Amino acid sequence: MKNKAIILSGLILTATLLLSFTANVFATATAQEVSLDPANPVEITFYAYSIATATEGEAPKGLVHLVNDFNETVGKEKGVHVTAIADTNPDGDSKVRSDIQAGLPVDVIQNAFSTLDENRQNYGFSAFEDIFPVEAMQSHFDGIFPAAQELGKIDGKTYGISCTLSMPILYINGTLFREAGLDPEQPLNTWEEVAAAAKTIKEKLDLPGLGFTTDPGWDMEGAQSLIFTNGGKILSDDRTAAVFADAGIADAFKSWKQVYLDGAAALGTQMEVFQGFAAGKVGMHFISSAVLTTYNGISKQAGWELYGQPMPGIGDNVATPVNSGSTLAVRSDSPLKSLAIWEFIQYMTSDEAYTIIPSEMGYVPLRDNLLDNEAYLKAYADANPVLRVATKELETMVPVTIWPAGAGTESLAIFNDAVKMAITTDGDTETIMKDAQDQITQVLQSVY
């Protein structure tokens, strides 16, 4: 089995190097050598997991809207047509993987940040600098939050640009808060205060105070945020060892675990907790800003008040939020295909796209000039103040961990399982997380 894995890794590496070499050749192609033709549009495919993800609320409609708008405007004018394809599991036995193996064209992929390096190797992602005009790329990306531009970089090259980016929000059911004698407009600045509020809701209303998911879902990015807030890191600087249990891991998770021990946690799958909060049966839900649009609509229909606060800190430590969301990664096999993909990437990161993405999908806008621009997001942001809360968190954001290729899937699974066990059982948090840290370090060192 090990020999087979080595052979497969060698084949993947060879294919990746070949693609890299070919990409550099493509990058030298001049505009005179290839050009788009509206009469003969180039067909490209866009594999998007959000289209098939029910828990992301309005995301499917928003992405389809963007693709249709592109095809009817820039695509028609320049000669590019995009087909959107739903991919329910981009990081496992995905349609991306099977279609690549079948020799089908797989051009643009919505990829999670944590597995970008893993899938860069598995799927042969192209570095933007190798296939797109660098000066035009730098000019177009100017105005996107600098932190967001860095999210898709590996070894100094861009392997993805932020598309749907979300920040953590502590959603609050204002109606339940008032019924429990709490003030939903009073900031909860620390997780200790959140735990106390959750306990009060449980005692006064016999309802869960704070939602936790027990399957590997968004809470895992939240757990990374807790570690960074407490002064820790996930990986060593050279990415060859896990270090998340070295800096007070028990203190980092203390308040989340206290909610569980108090019986005030809404335990369940990601969908179950989402549905519980949406139904007005959970006091708070710490989750991605991606569900803002959905929660806004549901709360108004159901008649309960929705509030949102930025991520709380831990004791005297100010919150250090970690992003969630996705990046647009690309594969190209010709200069002409690169031109077509570049037109689509430009559109998906334009002012127009970053207006549709927040207003229809709930994510944060990645151009800071849009929130106060009447032509774009000002009216929506004024009516939905939580969007400004989430966007401001970009100023203190720490990038979510991109796990090293060859170890990413296994490392992430170990981390996710350990977080779940550390928070939602009465096991010793430090022991659980240190064991997971040792396991991940072994996995990483087997790769390097």
- Give backbone dihedrals phi and psi of 98, rounded to 5 degrees, phi first: -65, -35
Tell me what the pLDDT averaged over the chain comes to: 88
The answer to whether residue 26 scores a pLDDT higher than 50 is no
What 3-state DSSP class applies to 278? Answer: helix
Distance of CA 441 to the CA centre of its chain: 24
- Maximum CA pair distance of the chain? 72
| 358 phi, psi to nearest 5 deg | -70, -45
Within this chain, do residues 56 and 99 fall inside the same structural domain, yes or no?
A: yes
- The residue that leads in pLDDT, 5 or 109, is 109
Q: How confident is the model at residue 92 (pLDDT cuts 50, 70, 90)?
A: low
- Please check whether residue 100 is in contact with residue 106, taking contact to mean a CB–CB distance below 8 angstroms: yes
Nearest to 273 by CA among 254, 259, 255: 259
How far apart CA 96 and CA 84 sit, in angstroms, is 12
Last residue of one domain, picked from the residues 378, 395, 412? 395
pLDDT tens digits, 226-261: 999 999 999 999 999 999 999 899 999 999 999 999
* pLDDT band (50, 70, 90) for residue 14: very low
Where are the strands (E) in 297-397, listed by range? 306-310, 324-330
81 has pLDDT over 70: yes
Could you tell me if 8 and 152 lie in one domain?
Answer: yes
pLDDT at residue 204 above 70? yes
Rounded to 5 degrees, φ, ψ at 370 are -85, -30
Q: Give me the pLDDT at residue 13, please.
A: 39
Q: Terminus-to-terminus CA distance in the chain, angstroms? A: 19
Provide the domain count of the chain: 2
Is 296 found in the same domain as 195?
Answer: yes
Both tokens assigned to 25: 């050749």
| Cβ atoms within 10 Å of 200's Cβ, excluding its own | 18
pLDDT score, position 19: 44
**Where do we find the tokens 């600045």?**
189
CA–CA gap between residue 69 and residue 76 (Å, rounded): 10
**Degrees to nearest 5, angle at CA 385 with 383 and 386:** 130
Q: Both 300 and 360 in a single domain?
A: no
Three-state secondary structure string covering 183-214: CCCCCCCEHHHHHHHHHHHHHHHCCCCEEEEC
The pairing of strands 42-48 and 80-86 is parallel
- 78 and 156 together in one domain: yes
- 444 pLDDT higher than 80: yes
Domain containing residue 426: CATH number: 3.40.190.10
**pLDDT (mean) for 267-272:** 87
| Cβ-based neighbours of 423, under 8 Å, separated by 6 or more | 212, 223, 253, 256, 257, 260, 429
Residue 380 has pLDDT above 70, yes or no: yes
Does residue 54 have a pLDDT over 60? no
The band of 53, judged by pLDDT with boundaries at 50, 70 and 90, is low
CA torsion angle 70 73 79 85 (round to 10): 20
How many angstroms separate the CA atoms of 143 and 60, rounded?
A: 26
Confidence grade of residue 25 (pLDDT, cut at 50, 70, 90): very low
pLDDT, position 328: 96
Confidence class of residue 55 from pLDDT cuts 50, 70 and 90? Answer: very low
If you average pLDDT over residues 370-382, what whole number do you get? 95
Tell whether the model's pLDDT for residue 91 goes beyond 70.
no
Does 212 share its domain with 272?
Answer: yes
H or E element, residue 283? none
Whether residue 7 sits in one domain with residue 156: yes
- pLDDT above 80 for 9: no
Residue where one domain finishes, among candidates 355, 374, 395: 395
331 and 284 together in one domain:
no
Label residue 60 by pLDDT band (50, 70, 90).
low
Residue type, 33: E
Average pLDDT for residues 356-373, to the nearest whole number?
Answer: 89
- Mind listing the pLDDT tens digit for each residue in 179-188? 999 999 999 9
H or E segment and range at residue 248: none
Indicate the pLDDT class of residue 21, thresholds 50, 70 and 90.
very low
Domain around 290: 168-322+403-447
State whether 136 and 187 are in the same domain: no
Same domain membership, residue 286 and residue 328? no
> What does each C-alpha distance from 444 to 225, 235, 272, 406, 436 come to in angstroms?
22, 10, 34, 8, 12
Q: What Å distances lie between residue 332 and 38, 69, 132, 190, 391, CA to CA? A: 20, 23, 10, 47, 32
Residue 155 sits in the same domain as residue 6: yes
> Is a pLDDT exceeding 90 seen at residue 329?
yes
The pLDDT of residue 304 is 96
Q: What is the pLDDT of residue 290?
A: 84
pLDDT at residue 11 in the model: 38
pLDDT above 70: percentage of residues in the chain? 89
Question: Same structural domain for residues 275 and 202?
Answer: yes
Question: Could you tell me if 148 and 113 are in contact, meaning their C-beta atoms sit under 8 angstroms apart?
Answer: no
Q: What is the model's pLDDT at position 167?
A: 93
